[in-house]
Homo-oligomer: A and B are copies of this chain.
Amino acid sequence: MEPGNGRDSGELRGDVHSEIPYVHRIGVPPKPNLRKEFKAGVKETFFSDDPLRPFKNQTGWKKVVIGLQTVFPILDWGRKYSFGKFKGDLIAGLTIASLCIPQDIGYAKLAHMDAQYGLYSSFVPPLIYACMGSSRDIAIGPVAVVSLLLGTMLQNEIDYKSNPAMFRRLAFTATFFAGITQFSLGFFRLGFLIDFLSHAAVVGFMAGAAITIALQQLKGLLGIKHFTTKTDIVSVMRSVWGSVHHGWNWQTILIGVSFLAFLLLAKYIGKKNKKLFWVPAVAPLISVFISTLCVYLTHAEKQGVQTVWHIEKGINPPSANQIFFSGEYLGKGFKIGMVAGMIALTEAIAIGRTFATMKDYQIDGNKEMVALGTMNIVGSMTSCYVSTGSFSRSAVNYMAGCNTAVSNIVMSGVVLLTLELITPLFKHTPNAIIASIIISAVVSLIDVEAMALIWKIDKFDFLACIGAFFGVVFISVEMGLLIAVSISFAKILLQVTRPRTALLGKLPRTSVYRNIQQYPEALKVPGMLIVRVDSAIYFSNSNYIKERILRWLTDEEQILEETKQPRIAFLVVDLSPVTDIDTSGIHALEELHKSLDKKSIKVRNSDYNHTKISNFSNTGW
């Protein structure tokens, strides 16, 4: 935590060779100033993005304007908004609206809520985000994974079938606290906490969630009436097989499977030809219209084809008075909200970062969290459940040529019209279509390529990935999440307690020293043991490093004794990758020094200019 306390690991590799030897003698850097250093440390930790930079050298009034623009970026980009940009936003907005309406209905079912709550959540939150968010490409609304997670966790507390009103109240409470969590993380600049969920764990979790969600859709797709409330694959498959003789409805299956084939084909076309991105984007709405028409004309609902039946007409009713602010459900709502809020945040930030990189603009993670938090807090008071950025809709938004968050406003407008005017038309929409749409949407969450890459790069990461995956599929969504977080943390702890050390040998005909395990041609230097420590030395690993070095020595001495070679007189510890060392580290090295003194082995630090770790002045190294 002390940036630059006279410890410097050095020069650029390969540039060290020099004609006159004395030039290597570089003076000790000036003594750092404690107050300055502390300030720099705090700044780097919590304000690494330097949020106050634009306020510098500004007059009072200008500061207020900049402040408002910081909280509401729309005031900034809105002034430069043009009709040219609007054209792109309008097309993108209409495209994502056509995609989101059937998805919303399905996702609301995943969260065990009535269909209209999905639409509500695509109306208010996008408007708030458009004013406060800094991503230009993200499309806001309910998403599959968060809906599933929320539905499962809420169901653990209150049964949605027997007590839908209380269930809904708890959902709003959770949404409120999800917003509070997101807002606080951003406001207190703790956004870096979401980085603790590793990419690998998220990939596994998402793939597992996608499978779980797809399995849940078997209910709608096969027309099963009695379905398990559990989400693990064993319970679901048992439920599916158990109903094979009396529960399956062939008309439903016919509709569902044929439209699923159509949707997947559309998806394939969109993938093959990037210009036809709109095909998979409008296919869901087309399916809904065609299938609804079919059912209406053939009266298939009388043959047992289940339909959406009823969607409440009209825009979001207020729900602030339904939030539990006391009682036993306050704590439960808080817990569920915190988890759902963190997951929603992880997804939204990942999307924001991805698209910002593609268009080369910066998004401010902490500001995004404040925007997303505010959006969910307001959402919880207007009958919405947790909304966030959707991967599939954001990708469509981007490809349809959106320029700003106005596309979200357009989408929101279309949802408004839907709620006010056309909800009765969904009466005959078969559930099987909604199920097909969800399955085709979540399929892309299973990123086999990413998994293969993770396997290739890092086996421990793959363990986190596959652990999260199996946790979600075979146990439950929360369990998968817990496994993902635990493995991610375990990885950090392992990294800091068991850093690598390597025995170095000299490569023949060079003066380059390399790890002898990796370079079998590297030769040990007689009478000398060269060990490299591959990590900063902290209290968490100092004892291990000391003991590991002594063990290298014991092993080596044993071999030398057996082969009757001269014993070791010098131990060289290469500290080039050691960028920091704390008091425990110094302590351990002192002890190492003492132990070796007893064996009359001399210790040398390979860092020839002696300026690197000024702490060593205390150790006698």
Contacts and interface: CB of A to CB of B under 8 A. Distances in A.
Contacts of A365: 543
Contacts of A520: 30
Interface stretch (A8-16, A180-188, A321-329): A8-16
A488 interface: yes
Residue of A5, A583, A606, A608 with most partner-chain B CB within 10 A:
A583
A594 B358 CA distance: 7
Interface in A576-621: 576-577, 579-580, 582-584, 586-587, 591, 594-595, 598-599, 606-609, 615, 618
Contacts of A540: 195-196, 198, 492
Given A48-B498, A458-B582, A538-B495, A16 B17 contact: yes
A539 interface: yes
Given A16-B512, A195-B497, A362 B550 contact: yes
A504 interface: yes
Interface stretch (A37-45, A157-165, A428-436): A37-45
A37 B539 contact: no
A420 B302 CA distance: 94
Number of copies of this chain in the oligomer?
2
B591 A18 contact: no
Interface string A488-508: 100111111111101010010
A509 B192 CA distance: 41
Interface stretch (A86-94, A96-104, A378-386, A528-536): A528-536
Contacts of A362: 547, 550
A515 B4 contact: yes
Nearest to A606: B12
A544 B195 contact: yes
A297 interface: no
Interface stretch (A21-29, A127-135, A387-395): A21-29
A245 B370 CA distance: 59
A156 interface: no
A2 B511 contact: no
Contact of A1 (B18, B195, B491): B491
A137 interface: no
A5 B515 CA distance: 11
A606 B13 CA distance: 7
Contacts of A17: 16-18, 511
A10 B13 contact: yes
Given A4-B500, A15-B513, A530-B12, A488 B26 contact: no
A12 B531 CA distance: 10
A608 B16 CA distance: 12
A567 to B, nearest CB: 16
Nearest to A6: B518
B457 A618 contact: yes
B13 A544 contact: no
B45 A579 contact: no
A461 interface: yes
Given A461-B583, A547-B49, A583-B457, A539 B488 contact: yes
A460 to B, nearest CB: 4
A599 B360 contact: yes
A122 interface: no
Contacts of A513: 10-12, 15
A538 B576 contact: no
A496 B504 contact: no
A55 interface: no
A121 interface: no
A497 B488 CA distance: 13
Contacts of A50: 551
Interface string A448-475: 0000011011111100000000000000
24 contacts: A1-B458, A1-B491, A3-B517, A11-B13, A11-B512, A11-B513, A12-B606, A13-B16, A13-B576, A13-B606, A13-B608, A14-B606, A16-B17, A23-B510, A26-B514, A29-B515, A38-B459, A199-B582, A199-B584, A199-B587, A353-B543, A353-B591, A358-B594, A365-B543
Given A200-B584, A353-B543, A492-B538, 19 more contacts: A8-B514, A10-B513, A11-B511, A13-B576, A13-B606, A15-B512, A16-B511, A16-B512, A23-B510, A26-B519, A30-B520, A44-B498, A195-B539, A199-B539, A199-B582, A360-B598, A461-B583, A492-B540, A576-B576
Interface of A: 1-6, 8-18, 23-24, 26-27, 29-30, 32, 34, 37-38, 41, 44-45, 48-50, 192, 195-200, 353-354, 357-358, 360, 362, 365, 453-454, 456-461, 488, 491-500, 502, 504, 507, 509-515, 517-520, 530, 532, 534-536, 538-544, 547-548, 550-551, 572, 574, 576-577, 579-580, 582-584, 586-587, 591, 594-595, 598-599, 606-609, 615, 618
